[in-house]
Amino acid sequence: MVAYEIPVFNYVLRMVGDRSLAEDLTQEIFLRIYQGLPGFSLRCRFTTWLFQVAKHRVLDELRARERKPHAVVTLEDLPPLEVVDAPPERVEAIDAVWRAVALLNPDLKMALLLRDVVGLSYTEIADSLEITLATVKWRIFKAREEVQLALEREGIEIEVTRPQRAVLSDAT
């Protein structure tokens, strides 16, 4: 289970935006996993089940937050993410990306984080979030689009590299 601790923590942290709360939630998630292991069936992959538990716990926390009055925290009050040996403009761009991700609605944010931070496949995300594969693809597309638009509004350009397809020529 140690191999899953960092991906789950990073996912939870990006969903709730509070390091201390993310640590607590991550512990709760692993406690629930440990307690639920006897009932775990091999109908799905372990990672799918793990992120289903994480999703449900995070959503419970987000719903509880909506019901409670909370203090307003500005982005300036949040500790900055440290990027080792990155040029200042790159650090600014990375911070802008995370600010844009933080503004996404939870459905889009969950799908994007599971794909781009945790590294799950589209099928694993669909199983973890209990949605269709088409919905996963749409949410990730929409989340990336919204992040890109937010970056453009801030005047930040991010170079997106996509794998190039091989071009076959008929050299006869």
pLDDT tens string 29-80: 999 999 888 887 777 788 888 988 999 999 999 888 877 765 555 545 555 5
Whether 8 maps to a domain, the answer reads yes
Whether 163 maps to a domain, the answer reads no
Whether 171 maps to a domain, the answer reads no
Whether 158 maps to a domain, the answer reads no
Element of type H or E holding 125 = helix 122-129
Exposed e or buried b for every residue in 58-74, given b needs 16+ CB within 10 A? beebeeeeeeeeeeeee
Domain CATH for 40? 1.10.10.10
How many Å is the Cα radius of gyration of the chain?
18
Angle, CA of 17, 69 and 67, to the nearest 5°: 85
Whether 65 maps to a domain, the answer reads yes
In this predicted structure, the answer to whether residue 8 has a pLDDT above a threshold of 50 is: yes
Whether 172 maps to a domain, the answer reads no
Give the count of domains, the chain.
Answer: 1
CA 79 and chain centroid, separation? 19
Q: Which two tokens stand for residue 165?
A: 């397809």
Domain span at residue 68 reads: 2-153
Q: Is the pTM of this model over 0.85?
A: no
Whether 160 maps to a domain, the answer reads no
Whether 169 maps to a domain, the answer reads no
